[in-house]
A and B are shown apart, each in its own frame.
Chain A
Amino acid sequence: MKNFYSDLEQNAFWKSGVSNVSPLNVSDIYEKKWIIRRTWKIGTAGSCFAQHIARHLKKNDYRVLDVEPAPSGLEPEQHETYGYSLYSGRYGNIYTTRQLLQLIEETFSDAPQEPLIWERDGRFFDAIRPNIEPNGFASRAEVIEARAYHIERLRELFLSVDLFVFTLGLTEAWIHTSSGRVVPLAPGVVAGEEDAQDYSFVNFSYDDVLSDFRKAMRILKKNRPKKIRYLLTVSPVPLTATASGNHVLTASTYSKSVLRAVAGFLSDNNSIIDYFPSYEIITNPAARGTFFAPNLRSVLNEGVEVVMKTFFEEHPPKKTQETTELPVGEVPSEQDVRSKEDVQCDEQLLEAFGQ
């Protein structure tokens, strides 16, 4: 007797799609929506997991932009300490769609708000990207000037990208109550302990996350003449800590569920948005947690390799383009080949407080 399921592919069934399949080889889990063209300029941003994607795209000769490359005299081992060579701009981790929206709004605003500035031991920090100067800036004026330059470069980025790769990381955030701006870390973690009372906790809902991303898309569409596509992923890295009052496991599941649902909805309902299932690959029950480090949070290289192998099966590496001088904002991929997969994760600071 036939039924609806009789003619479905093997990967539609848990037994033949998951439990009897090696977690190291799940290539039929993803089918690309479109080909990423060699000429496409790619921007990357998101939570710390996005750094893996950015790094591997560059290594495989995709045209990944970096509109704020590190000064040539800064030692390579210092790049990440100063927020360089992580993403397409020196914005640090962007965990929420609200943070992304706010960055894009600021980039295209005619009258951007004054930067939020935290203080610690006489040094000053850009609260929106508190980890890009390890010892803070020498003055408030430096923070303001640095941010003005940063936004100027981001304009270049958002006007020129053809594909924007964004990894959704969190739903929890801290909002500066009077201005409504979110920051990536709670005040007091890096700096700003004295400003803590000016911030309140928020846990974004499905509607918030979806609405914020859509608004961000509308601003970009309004300000750019050419089409932009988006590739969304959800970070498989659980929360380090939750301020929701719930158990961190349920809080983390809530966050990831919301983000996954939003990413799926956006992809299912927009031809210009594709979803890549790095979350599912890493959290695949068949892997039995082996893609996670002993802390059950950090993703091991082995897991990242499977994610990227699956990605590149659909989006094969590009041949190296021959240029004598790359246009502004483009960094040769050879510069980014590093043997260690060291990811800057602001949340590791939270772990220190949680001891």
Chain B
Amino acid sequence: MKRICFVGNSHVGAVKQAIDDLSDDSSLNGFEFSTFACQSRNLETVQVNNGVLSSDDEKLKESFIWTSGGSSEVVISDYDVICFLMGRSMFDYKMFRSGSDIPYLSVGLFDEIMAGAWNSWQMQLVENTARANKNVQVVHIGHPFVSVASPKIKSFLDSLCDSDSGLYDRAKSVKARIEKKASAISVGNLRVMAPPPAALDETGFFTQHTFCQGSKGSNRITETEVEHSSDDFAHMNEVYGRMLIDHLLAELA
């Protein structure tokens, strides 16, 4: 039985809903899934100590207990794969965006931005987790790309589709460079992985809106599922969650 653990913030919700729907699905019988989720600001308190992801933050502990079904910490060796769903995806073009453009980026500037992303708190946690146990595959997928229907990306999308703007070529170049960099970073038991390609729109920069519709979060007070509001273009639904699981397993196979 392969043991897969998802650790992250609200974006773990999509995966959790997909896992809950697996009871009639025999295709994933050889896998056991766990989830540990908390709000990002509390996740920042998590440290790796003696092979365990833990925190002194009471809110974090409560959230982990609630979302995992009983554990306030993640024992790394309990799992074969730990997948982090928190923080910006290393494949997210947004960090290279300025306004509704991706400017020309020198190699030096590109590397500076990637270094900044790599030095973020979440990637440090990912690295430390991988270092703590070489027998466990540690993966960072991060947040989904925002929905293509988000009004905030409209002007960027319009420019992207404008063949005279030059943006499409610059964006493609950035994508290729990101993939090369991610490949270089993914060494040993550490992998940075892009979101599931089948969920992306034709530009490859956004998630298809169908995977955003009907997304749900969890209300810890009432212990019920709550639909995200219609202007939430960041959270994805259980179909996306299932796609992510399949993508992760396929990449690690």
Contacts and interface: CB of A to CB of B under 8 A. Distances in A.
B97 A71 contact: yes
A136 B106 CA distance: 9
B106 A73 contact: no
Interface in A296-336: 324-326, 328-331
B98 A69 contact: yes
B22 interface: no
B31 to A, nearest CB: 34
Nearest to B116: A75
Interface in B82-124: 94-109, 112-113, 116-117
Interface residues on A, range: 20 to 34
B108 A74 contact: no
A329 B159 CA distance: 14
Contact of B95 (A73, A146, A148, A325): A73
Contacts of A72: 94-98
A196 to B, nearest CB: 25
Interface string A129-172: 00001111110001001101110110000000000000000000
Contacts of B172: none
B105 A71 contact: yes
B117 A73 contact: yes
A254 interface: no
B155 to A, nearest CB: 7
Interface in A35-73: 68-73
A82 B101 CA distance: 17
B103 A68 contact: yes
A72 B93 CA distance: 10
A329 B151 CA distance: 18
A331 B94 CA distance: 16
A257 interface: no
B99 A138 contact: no
Given A69-B99, A72-B95, A150-B104, 19 more contacts: A68-B98, A68-B103, A71-B102, A71-B103, A72-B96, A72-B98, A73-B94, A73-B96, A73-B116, A78-B116, A133-B106, A133-B108, A137-B106, A138-B108, A142-B107, A146-B106, A325-B151, A325-B152, A328-B155
Interface of A: 68-75, 78, 82, 133-138, 142, 145-146, 148-150, 152-153, 324-326, 328-331
| 9 A-B pairs closest in CB distance | A73-B95, A149-B104, A73-B113, A69-B98, A138-B107, A71-B96, A71-B98, A75-B116, A137-B106
26 contacts: A68-B98, A68-B103, A71-B109, A72-B94, A72-B96, A73-B94, A73-B96, A74-B113, A74-B116, A82-B109, A82-B112, A135-B108, A136-B108, A137-B106, A138-B107, A138-B108, A142-B107, A145-B104, A146-B104, A149-B103, A149-B104, A150-B104, A325-B151, A325-B155, A328-B101, A329-B99
